[in-house]
């Protein structure tokens, strides 16, 4: 396979794919229709495995299993610490299988193997541990009504949850959705993205081994329009938690409303700004900006895809940025020297290349990149456009690839206005040593997370989610646990009240 230095040609063994069926009620089963779909290795475009394809009927069976597990099963009724104990065992089992799971995400999504091994997969175990720690600390409060009433709240699990997740972080997304819902005492059906079903099925197998009761966690791979839509429109699912595109988020909200008015939480697209001020260390800022757009090949909803640089350092910044982009290594994601693997699939690959054409046709200047690499697999050069106007498609649309729109600004006010000139509001970055600028800008940008002098700084206890059309509801932190709980008020008279 090609890399930008033209040398890499690794022949790392692809792990044997052990789990290819639907995981329903604690068993791996074929789909009712007998249908299968192919999951593709984006390094080559070749088929990795055939996966059982869940459709509406399979979702129905999975929801029934989750319903029984919720209504009659032990999971929601266990003391929190018992749920926690099982979750902690699951986390340990994941730790024992890091390399194999990392390899699954690498072949399925083109993600860097070394990074998955060091960060994504151990991160899954740690997300589970974080929420396991919360499972026995869920409680309501005693209220103090004005009248002679004794009143208190109970925090109850919301019920059967449907999770629909994307392909860019198959493992992290799985854990971010499943772990808080499990801690809350919910049961669930998860649909992984059709591009990346492999790791979710592996986690399901380990969940069974850890002792998560049958029916509590069901994993049904399948397509969005069929299996996904069956979740969002299901009459017996009590909540849907979704991460994906803004267009699909809108459809999910509509079908949730049309069916049983189930609450939804949506973590959607972004076009996040990174603002670099004159006092920044230019070299470090260029590194940060590059990472901001190229990490995970730009397939991350918080990618810093619009970079605004103050005029005093603009020229020097641009020069350094281009130098660094040219030295960035694209190639086989199993190679530890490689910094960027292939885009997830042909559709994304073509979409990104078409945006690059838009950028050129709309009059932006292509500073570097702009082309695919090699003839096999879905590799794209790190691409930077300058002279970008704010109304161009490359400055407004989420591209979800290694394509940066670079712009210049003069004043803080102008920078804030430009940063907010988007329908999205997921994240923003600020690079400055000036506390006044940092404070003013962080409070003025309408986005769910602001990174000052860093980017992609995540933590299990740091809530993460959108403003505006980037969605609502938060993943991570105790905020996420509360998405899977509902409040019940219990009221009774005291003394000889008139009741
Ligand atoms: P992307 O465009 O980045 O692939 P999507 O929003 O299309 O992201 O996909 C995210 C998840 O949503 C995937 O699991 C996909 O199968 C699912 N999905 C796509 N369309 C629908 C739909 N109409 N209803 C429910 N889920 C869907």
- The string of DSSP letters for 324-341 reads HHHH--BS-TTSTT-SB-
Q: Tabulate helix, strand, coil % of the chain (nearest 5).
A: 40, 20, 40
Instruction: Report CA-CA distances (Å) from 432 to 131, 240, 315, 424, 449.
Output: 35, 39, 17, 23, 17
In this prediction the ipTM stands at: 0.98
408: Cβ–Cβ under 8 A, 6 or more apart, which residues? 308, 309, 310, 311, 314
> For residue 200, how far is its CA from the centre of ligand 1 (angstroms)?
16
Ligand 1 atom with the shortest distance to the CA of 244: 6
Confidence of residue 496 (pLDDT cuts 50, 70, 90): low
Q: Specify the 3-state DSSP secondary structure of 404.
A: strand
Tokens of 249: 């988020």
Q: Which atom of ligand 1 is nearest to the CA of 166?
A: 10
Distance, CA of 403 to CA of 355 (rounded, Å):
9
Active-site annotation holder among 53, 251, 267, 381: 267
Distance between Cα 136 and ligand 1 center (Å): 34
Contact 392, 359 (CB under 8 A): yes
Q: Is the pTM of this model over 0.80?
A: yes
CB–CB of 54/29 below 8 Å?
no
57 Cα to the center of ligand 1, angstroms: 19
Residue 28 contacts residue 358 (beta carbons within 8 Å): no
DSSP code, position 13: P
Residue 368 confidence (pLDDT) above 80: yes
**Whether residue 460 has its Cβ less than 6 Å from ligand 1:** no
Least confident of 12-26, 27-41, 337-351, 361-375: 12-26
Question: Measured from the CB, is residue 160 less than 6 Å from ligand 1?
Answer: no
How confident is the model at residue 178, as a pLDDT?
Answer: 99
Residue with tokens 């999910």: 252
pLDDT in tens, 298-335: 999 999 999 999 999 999 999 999 999 999 999 999 99
Mean pLDDT, residues 212-218 = 98
Burial (Cβ within 10 Å: 0-12, 13-18, ≥19) of residue 375:
exposed
Please state the atom number of ligand 1 nearest to the C-alpha of residue 191: 14
The H or E element containing residue 492 is strand 485-493
Mean per-residue pLDDT over the chain, rounded = 96
Averaged pLDDT for residues 384-395: 98
Instruction: Quick: pLDDT tens for 181-195.
Output: 999 999 999 999 999
Asked if the model's pLDDT at residue 1 lies above 60, the reply is: no
pLDDT given for residue 148 in this prediction: 86
Strands 424-425 and 403-409: unpaired
Q: How far is the CA of 138 from the centre of ligand 1 (A)?
A: 32
Q: Confirm if 204 and 220 have CB atoms less than 8 A apart.
A: no
Q: Which residue has the CA at smallest separation from atom 2 of ligand 1?
A: 245
Q: Hey, which of 166, 170, 269, 298 would you mutate to test ligand 1's pocket, going by the most ligand atoms within 8 Å of its Cβ?
A: 166
Asked if 267 is an active-site residue, the reply is yes
């Amino acid at each position: 396979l090609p890399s930008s230095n033209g040398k890499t040609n690794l022949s790392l063994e692809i792990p044997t794919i052990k789990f290819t069926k639907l995981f329903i009620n604690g068993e791996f089963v074929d789909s009712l229709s007998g249908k299968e779909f192919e999951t593709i290795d984006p390094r080559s475009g070749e088929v990795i495995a055939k996966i059982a394809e869940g459709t509406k009927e399979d979702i129905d069976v999975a929801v029934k299993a989750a319903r029984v597990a919720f209504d009659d099963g032990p999971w929601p009724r266990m003391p929190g610490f018992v749920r926690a104990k099982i979750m902690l065992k699951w986390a340990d089992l994941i730790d024992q299988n890091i390399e194999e799971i990392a390899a699954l995400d690498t072949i399925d999504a083109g993600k860097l193997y070394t990074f998955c091994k060091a960060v994504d997969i151990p991160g899954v175990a740690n997300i589970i541990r974080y929420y396991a720690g919360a499972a026995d600390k869920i409680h309501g409060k005693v209220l103090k009504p004005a009248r002679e009433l004794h009143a208190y709240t109970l925090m109850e699990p919301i019920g059967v949850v449907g999770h629909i997740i994307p392909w860019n972080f198959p493992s992290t997304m799985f854990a971010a959705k499943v772990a808080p819902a499990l801690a809350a005492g919910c049961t669930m059906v998860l649909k992984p993205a059709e591009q990346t079903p492999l790791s979710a099925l592996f986690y399901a197998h380990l969940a069974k081994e850890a002792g998560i009761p049958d029916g509590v966690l069901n994993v049904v791979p399948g397509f969005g329009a069929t299996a996904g839509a069956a979740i969002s429109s299901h009459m017996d699912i009590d909540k849907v938690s979704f991460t994906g595109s803004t267009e699909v988020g809108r459809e999910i909200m509509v079908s949730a409303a049309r069916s049983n008015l189930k609450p939804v939480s949506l973590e959607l697209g972004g076009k996040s700004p990174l603002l670099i001020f004159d006092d920044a260390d230019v070299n470090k800022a260029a590194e940060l900006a590059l990472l901001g757009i190229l990490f995970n090949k730009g397939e991350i909803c918080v990618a810093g895809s619009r970079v605004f640089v103050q005029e005093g350092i603009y020229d020097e910044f641009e020069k350094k940025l281009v130098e660094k982009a040219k030295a960035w290594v694209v190639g086989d994601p199993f190679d530890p020297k490689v910094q960027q693997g292939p885009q997830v699939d042909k559709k994304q690959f073509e979409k990104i290349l078409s945006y690059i054409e838009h950028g050129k046709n709309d009059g932006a200047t292509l500073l570097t990149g702009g082309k695919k690499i090699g003839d096999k697999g879905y590799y794209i050069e790190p691409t930077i456009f300058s002279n970008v106007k704010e109304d161009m498609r490359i400055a407004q649309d989420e591209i979800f690839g290694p394509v940066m729109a670079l712009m210049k600004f003069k004043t803080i006010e102008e920078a804030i206005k430009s940063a907010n000139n988007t329908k999205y509001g997921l994240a923003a970055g600020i690079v400055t040593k000036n506390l006044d600028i940092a404070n003013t800008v962080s409070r003025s940008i309408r986005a769910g997370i602001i990174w000052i002098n860093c980017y992609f700084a995540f933590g299990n206890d740091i809530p993460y989610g959108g403003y505006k059309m980037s969605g609502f509801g938060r993943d991570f932190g105790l905020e996420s646990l509360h998405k899977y709980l509902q409040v019940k008020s219990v009221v009774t008279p005291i003394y000889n009240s008139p009741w």
